[in-house]
Structure 1
Amino acid sequence: MISWWISSLQLVELFVSSLVHLAYGFYIFSTAVAGDLSQTFSDWIFKPNLAAGLRRVDSEKSTTVDDLPPIVLVHGIFGFGKGRLGGLSYFAGAEKKDDRVLVPDLGSLTSIYDRARELFYYLKGGQVDYGEEHSRACGHAQFGRVYEKGHYPEWDEDHPIHFVGHSAGAQVVRVLQQMLADKAFKGYENTSANWVLSITSLSGAFNGTTRTYLDGIQPEDGKSLKPISLLQLCRIGVILYDWFDIQWLKAYYNFGFDHFNMSRKKIGIWGLVCCLMGKSGPFASGDWILPDLTIQGSIRLNSHIQTFPDTYYFSYATKRTRKIMGITIPSGLLGIHPLLFIRVLQMSQWRYPSDALLLIKVTGMKIGGTMMEHSTPYL
């Protein structure tokens, strides 16, 4: 009887959580569309004056390699870069303040590895090369999006870059720097860690986040999904979104799985069935971002990442919890987004299952205790 009640409560929580996330996503999308329509109407009315103003501004601006190093802002999970979702800005309009502030649009759900590869070619230009071995192992195309002109093609050791990563974006930058040090980009044998001048982390999920388990990742392996969970619904939605391949919709927002070729034009109905059954696609191979954000996934990533003496590192850690009588709880209703409040409460009380084993232990990370000090809700 008790187990039945627990199952019922879990289903209710899943329904409410799914509804809230769906409503919030629709709100963001509709806001972007409304903003675009408003901007189009405004441009149509004030077009002559606007064009003159733009010509004047362009004539006053001049950027060369001798200017200050650019600042690249890297978004987190479900994030987006400049050009997506109309006029909305993930970083509160920071890219509009200065031409040297760049906000790349990376796959919102693609793996840390794939994102790092995309970020390199976004800056240098050319066609994204995910690597032959990795692509074969993960079951996707080796080559992806083409950048006709890089956003900072002169990037090298003499022209390094400042990187700022939010949430999962911070780990993307660290993996990219390691790739540069390992000379992992074919045709670019002169790369080095010194191409990165500084890395600043904003709530970086370097040690993973326990929210991955709350949303549906199995804590036993940090990769597979629970049969009934929020991430299962997310998986189905993403597969259908990519399969229908509605171009104007994907121009607004893209999960970044184009290199998996899940479009209906390429795989047909049977391919869709295979993806939904977990036999193919990113969710079958594990080449997507959620496994990278588990504690196990972060351990694997961190075991191959170094810090380098000529790079400045700084991390802004955030905290929205407090302890009362030894119990960790959210710090209050104010200051925590309603979408995240329940998850923060759940994360505060989460404990690693006693019957689940970690193959590797991280120094200073208490297995079986609260993980709030080591993780952040992904955004």
Structure 2
Amino acid sequence: MRKWVRAALMGALGAAELLLSAAVHLGYAFYIFGAAVAADVAASLVKRLMPAKDVAVASEDEAAALLDGAAPPIVLVHGIFGFGKGRLGGLSYFADAEDKDGRVLVPDLGAFTSVHDRARELFYYLKGGRVDYGEAHSAACGHARFGRAYARGHYPLWDEAHPVHLVGHSAGAQVARLLQQMLHDGAFEGHAAATSARWVLSVTSLSGALNGSTRAYIDGARPEDGGGRSLRPACLLQICRAGSVLYHWLDLPPWLKRYYDFGFDHFGMSRCLVGARGLADALVAGRRGPFATGDWIVPDLTIQGAARINARVRTFPGSFYFSYASRVPSGLLGIHPLLFLRALQMRRWRWPAGAPPPYEGYRDEDWEDNDGALNTFSMTHPRVPEEHPSEPVEEEEDGAGAGRPLRPGVWYYRIVEADHMAFVINRRRGGVQFDLVYDSIFRNCRSLCLPDRPATDAAPEAELTNPD
């Protein structure tokens, strides 16, 4: 009887926590969406009321033409549920940090799609052409091989002599790293003979999911099945899954999808294509769509999923690497309400006793510090399954490598006291630290020069171990 009561009580508490979490997340999402629509309506009214002025507004193509290769552009890559320039009524995911430099690009990639698919989209966003997700990958994951077409890339000059700086927030950090590996592998048909890792001058991870997150398991991913392959029946990720499937199945008007899009168009889940049976297959039976094949972002955000990516992706000796790892203060004061409960849960979460550990040497205590979304241990540098070269930087130093020569092929990392939302969406929330971090990122990028790079990307075996 006592066990039954205990089980019932725990079930009730779990259901209450799920309802509260869902309400907070949905409320925040509708707040952001509503604010974007309201801003657009207000701007339209002002435009009608105010007399017209002769102001030259550059088109997207004209803006891209300004990136003439004189200095490498900085590409800001958003994270999960994020968005790029042109979405949400012009709201900036990076809270207008892109205005700090005149040569910054903010691509709009899939908000809920896999790291692989987003890396492919980023290549064609920069170089131009129709997005090719790869023949083998598309066949294995059950979606169309080709996606959106860019008549003109945002940086068509992109090559080894005209590289880019990639700055990724959250899951965007893994997107940047995987893209560089794909460039090294010659994975883009029609460009295979030309691309190399040296197309990327630097990679910066801002609160980046370099080794996954225990929050993926808290939100519903099962640790025992390899991470993200299946979900618990009642969890936050099931709500996200159902919402994204319905969003694409309803085939919303273009003006509405212009505000936000989960990025699953290449899975062909529109009601016009699959009908009611297709919705049942995707939503109930699990026989259709990204959740049937695991080709979505959450499996990549588990520790096992990140380990699979890291086993393939190198840290290249011809590029520079920086990382800003975030950690909430011990008192949890001032953190985003969306993350308060999550920060507490992540501190207390323990790997299930019956599940094999995600990697050799795993310890729960390593993963306790977090920023409400990702574990601080995961954000410093790639660690799983093998340690990459790294070097800590003291917080008071001006820039990631101030006072010392920067070495390519080494992750310079700094830990900052902040939650996961401090450097996106709302600049005022980030306060002074917001500007300090972005100023440091942009300064690092602009201080790097092409002649300092090694002549080759061939790395000795010792590059895979931590020099410390």
When normalised by structure 1's length, the TM-score is 0.92
1:38 to 25, 37, 42: 42
2:94 to 91, 100, 105: 91
Which amino acid in the other structure matches residue 185 of structure 1? F
Matched with 1:262 is 269
What SS is found at the alignment partner of 1:21?
helix
Matched with 1:366 is 363
CA RMSD, Structure 1 to Structure 2 (Å):
2.1
CA distance in 1, matches of 2:297, 2:231: 13
Which amino acid in the other structure matches residue 124 of structure 1? K
Which amino acid in the other structure matches residue 336 of structure 2? H
The alpha-carbon deviation at position 310 of structure 1 amounts to 1.4
1:235 to 234, 241, 252: 241
Matched with 2:9 is 5
Is there any run of 5+ residues in structure 1 with no aligned partner, and where? 323-330
The alpha-carbon deviation at position 280 of structure 1 amounts to 1.0
Which amino acid in the other structure matches residue 276 of structure 1? L
Residue pair 2:67, 2:155 contacting (<8 A) in 1 also:
no
CA distance in 2, matches of 1:156, 1:369: 39
The alpha-carbon deviation at position 166 of structure 1 amounts to 0.3
1:95–1:41 distance in 2 versus 1, CA, 3 Å: farther
Which amino acid in the other structure matches residue 194 of structure 2? N
1:332–1:264 distance in 2 versus 1, CA, 3 Å: same
Matched with 1:302 is 310
2:138 to 135, 138, 142: 135
CA distance in 2, matches of 1:212, 1:157: 36
Residues 1-379 of structure 1: pairs in structure 2 closer than 5 A = 1-49=5-53, 51-52=54-55, 54=57, 63=66, 65-188=68-191, 189-221=193-225, 222-223=227-228, 224-247=230-253, 248-277=255-284, 278-322=286-330, 331-334=331-334, 336-358=335-357, 361-362=359-360, 365-366=362-363, 370-372=367-369, 373-375=376-378
What SS is found at the alignment partner of 1:197?
strand
The one-character-per-residue Cα deviations of 1:101-131 (angstroms, maximum 9, x if unpaired) are 1000000000000000000000001100000
CA distance in 1, matches of 2:420, 2:238: 17
The alpha-carbon deviation at position 63 of structure 1 amounts to 2.7
The alpha-carbon deviation at position 39 of structure 1 amounts to 1.2
The alpha-carbon deviation at position 233 of structure 1 amounts to 1.0
The one-character-per-residue Cα deviations of 1:210-230 (angstroms, maximum 9, x if unpaired) are 110111111112121000101
CA distance in 2, matches of 1:283, 1:315: 31
Give aligned pairs, total: 365
CA distance in 2, matches of 1:285, 1:73: 28
Is there any run of 5+ residues in structure 2 with no aligned partner, and where? 370-375, 380-418, 422-468
The alpha-carbon deviation at position 207 of structure 1 amounts to 0.8
CA distance in 1, matches of 2:332, 2:283: 40
CA distance in 1, matches of 2:98, 2:17: 38
Bigger RCO (CA 8 Å, 6+ sep): 1
1:110–1:66 distance in 2 versus 1, CA, 3 Å: closer
The one-character-per-residue Cα deviations of 1:42-63 (angstroms, maximum 9, x if unpaired) are 22233522x33648xxx9x983
CA distance in 1, matches of 2:20, 2:28: 12
Which amino acid in the other structure matches residue 157 of structure 2? E
CA distance in 2, matches of 1:182, 1:340: 38
Segments of 4+ in structure 1 off by > 6 A?
376-379
What SS is found at the alignment partner of 1:154?
coil
The alpha-carbon deviation at position 67 of structure 1 amounts to 2.2
CA distance in 1, matches of 2:420, 2:261: 18
CA distance in 2, matches of 1:195, 1:228: 44
Which amino acid in the other structure matches residue 231 of structure 2? L
Which amino acid in the other structure matches residue 356 of structure 1? A
Which amino acid in the other structure matches residue 120 of structure 1? F
Identity %: 58
What SS is found at the alignment partner of 1:317?
strand
What SS is found at the alignment partner of 1:156?
coil
Residue pair 2:207, 2:420 contacting (<8 A) in 1 also:
no
1:279–1:64 distance in 2 versus 1, CA, 3 Å: closer
The one-character-per-residue Cα deviations of 1:28-83 (angstroms, maximum 9, x if unpaired) are 0000001111111222233522x33648xxx9x98352421111000000000000
Which amino acid in the other structure matches residue 361 of structure 1? Y
Which amino acid in the other structure matches residue 23 of structure 2? L
What SS is found at the alignment partner of 1:89?
coil
The alpha-carbon deviation at position 249 of structure 1 amounts to 1.8
Which amino acid in the other structure matches residue 173 of structure 2? A
What SS is found at the alignment partner of 1:72?
strand
> Quick check: 279-288 or 87-96, which moved more?
87-96
CA distance in 1, matches of 2:338, 2:99: 27
CA distance in 2, matches of 1:98, 1:45: 32
> Quick check: 224-233 or 61-70, which moved more?
61-70
CA distance in 2, matches of 1:159, 1:366: 43
1:12–1:104 distance in 2 versus 1, CA, 3 Å: same
The alpha-carbon deviation at position 100 of structure 1 amounts to 1.6
1:321–1:357 distance in 2 versus 1, CA, 3 Å: farther
The alpha-carbon deviation at position 369 of structure 1 amounts to 5.9
The alpha-carbon deviation at position 96 of structure 1 amounts to 4.0
What SS is found at the alignment partner of 2:321?
strand
What SS is found at the alignment partner of 2:244?
helix
CA distance in 2, matches of 1:282, 1:37: 34
